Amino acid sequence: MSFLPVVLALLAGAYLVAVLEGWVSTGRFRPAGPILSGLALLGQESLVPRTPDRIFFEAGPVLLLTSALLASAVLPLGPGVVIVDLATGALFVNAALVYVMVALVMSGWGPDAAYAMVGGFRFLGQLVGYSMPIVMVIAAVAMRAESLATTEVVESQAALWNALYQPVGFVVFMAAAMALCFLPPFDLPTAPGELAGGVVAEYTGWRLAVLRLARAVLVVTVAAAVTVFFLGGWHGPVLPPWAWSAVKTLAVAAGMLAAGRYVPRVREEHLLAWWWKLGIPLALLNIFVVGIMLVTVGG
Amino acid sequence: MAGEAGGCRSSGVLGVSALHQYALLFGMVLATVGFVLCLAVIARSLAATKEEGAKDVPAASGELSPEPVWVRYHVRYYGYALLFLAFDMEMAYMYPWAVVYRELGLVALLEMGVFLAILFLGLLYGWSQGALRRQ
């Protein structure tokens, strides 16, 4: 049973991502920062707005955490080190991560607050943009692996990483992954400085702690998905398999966090136009190119 | 490899059936909910929320929003959303095709190529008719 090591690795990763995110956004490196702010949030009052949709308000953060954890359950850390090795793993990652959108719309609708609601509906629009490229790129990955099981996907990259075999798909997937984690420049639902925090604006105390934990776990999960689908998962010389997975996942997470620093936030209509006029055609092209390469030169 | 993708992987790493795997996933959901409930109990035992006037007003930059704010929201991206539905259905057919692609080879590419080309033409048509903009 590899349940405990995977969950511990995930929590450690979420902690490191929280440290990294603080470093990137404030410019100060504080290794103990997440512990301190977590304890502070636990001691803080957790207010409920005056006329909430109570079920949505309470369920939003929990659903966000659940969807990130479920997606991580099918991503292998090493050969055999995976919580459930589903035959439909690659599809399951998609299915679980769609609930990120549901969670954000729920926590946007729940508090009966204008900024939060705008944030929630914006993320619904964002999903319409990033979701199709993710699904198409993963289809191209499954074509090469001849399987949807994530362990088979990693095995298929033993000779050559997918990032090199299908670079177009890799670039599209990285951008879509950032949009999925609502990291800058795709942080439309939270939009600090514009929506006053958006969907997280009405959360305080322990509820905010759950929301922040969920976001950090989501970033780690999506970075792990990039590693599994494109960077050869646990494959690598010298170091043990789990270490390679960890190094690659953290590198991807750091790259996603750092990239957002240098790009301004994209407006919703521009975001959708870019995804549909460039992202989806590129993802379809990627499927065609991979299809032709598999027939002519092989995997 | 391709054959076993449809059913459960009897030779899976854990050696458990698909039903067990989904039971484990369901257990994870319950454990997550339990974890959050524990956090709530800990937080409540540390300090109770004080009832104070106007503390529970949602953030609205100094002005009270009309209540409730649950009015009809103009989903200006509905043109994309309609196209999204078409593509979403298509992807449901794409995954089984992707798994058996290398077995079938060129035939599969041609068949799916026709299907994708029709969809792509639909995207171009929608684009030309102004579906790909803020409505």
Does the distance separating the beta carbons of A51 and B94 come in below 8 Å? no
Q: Which of B33, B58, B99 sits opposite A112 (nearest CB)?
A: B58
- Measure the N-to-C terminal CA separation of chain B; round to a whole number of Å: 46
Does the distance separating the beta carbons of A112 and B67 come in below 8 Å? yes
Split at pLDDT 50, 70, 90, the class of B4 is very low
Determine the longest span between alpha carbons in chain B, in angstroms.
Answer: 71
A113/A197 Cα distance (integer angstroms):
11
Does the distance separating the beta carbons of B65 and A209 come in below 8 Å? no
Query: Residue A1: its pLDDT value, please?
Result: 56
Task: Report pTM.
Answer: 0.91
Contact B26, A200 (CB under 8 A): no
Split at pLDDT 50, 70, 90, the class of A193 is confident
What average pLDDT does this structure show over A146-171? 91
Q: Name which of B39, B83, B106 to mutate to probe chain A: the one with the most chain A Cβ atoms within 10 A of its Cβ.
A: B39
Query: Residue A123: its pLDDT value, please?
Result: 92
Q: What is the mean pLDDT of chain A?
A: 90
List the one residue out of A186, A194, A201 whose CA is nearest residue A111.
Answer: A201
B9: pLDDT strictly greater than 50? no
Split at pLDDT 50, 70, 90, the class of B2 is very low
Q: Which of B28, B77, B99 sits opposite A73 (nearest CB)?
A: B28
- Contacts of residue A219, defined as CB under 8 A and 6 or more positions apart, other chains included, come to A14, A17, A21, A181, A183, A253, A256, A257
Q: Name which of A46, A128, A130, A280 to mutate to probe chain B: the one with the most chain B Cβ atoms within 10 A of its Cβ.
A: A128
More confident residue, A18 or A47: A18
A145/A153 Cα distance (integer angstroms):
5
Q: Name which of B29, B42, B77, B107 to mutate to probe chain A: the one with the most chain A Cβ atoms within 10 A of its Cβ.
A: B77
B3: pLDDT strictly greater than 50? no
Distance (Å) from the alpha carbon of A206 to chain B's nearest alpha carbon = 6
Structure tokens at A83: 């919580």
Does the distance separating the beta carbons of A128 and B81 come in below 8 Å? yes
Q: What is the mean pLDDT of chain B?
A: 81
Does the distance separating the beta carbons of A113 and B102 come in below 8 Å? no
B107/B52 Cα distance (integer angstroms):
71
B13: pLDDT strictly greater than 70? no
Structure tokens at A244: 């390679």
What average pLDDT does this structure show over B84-105? 86
Query: Residue A97: its pLDDT value, please?
Result: 93
B67: pLDDT strictly greater than 90? no
Q: For residue range A246-255, what is the model confidence (pLDDT) as tens digits?
A: 999 999 999 9
Element (H, E) at A58: helix A54-73
B8: pLDDT strictly greater than 80? no
Beta bridge partners of A78: A81
Does the distance separating the beta carbons of B99 and A112 come in below 8 Å? no
Contacts of B22 in chain A (CB under 8 A): 84
What average pLDDT does this structure show over B47-63? 80
Give SS3 for A81: strand
Does the distance separating the beta carbons of A287 and B70 come in below 8 Å? no
Contacts of A200 in chain B (CB under 8 A): none
List the one residue out of A107, A225, A49 whose CA is nearest residue B49.
Answer: A49
Q: How far is CA A33 from CA A40, A197, B68, in A?
A: 10, 20, 37
Query: Residue A81: its pLDDT value, please?
Result: 86
A67: pLDDT strictly greater than 80? yes
Does the distance separating the beta carbons of A132 and B88 come in below 8 Å? yes
ipTM here:
0.87
The b-or-e profile of A219-228 (16+ CB within 10 A means b, else e) is bbbbbbbbbb
A235: pLDDT strictly greater than 80? yes
Query: Residue A107: its pLDDT value, please?
Result: 92
Give SS3 for A124: helix
Kindly state the DSSP code that residue B53 receives in the 8-state scheme: T
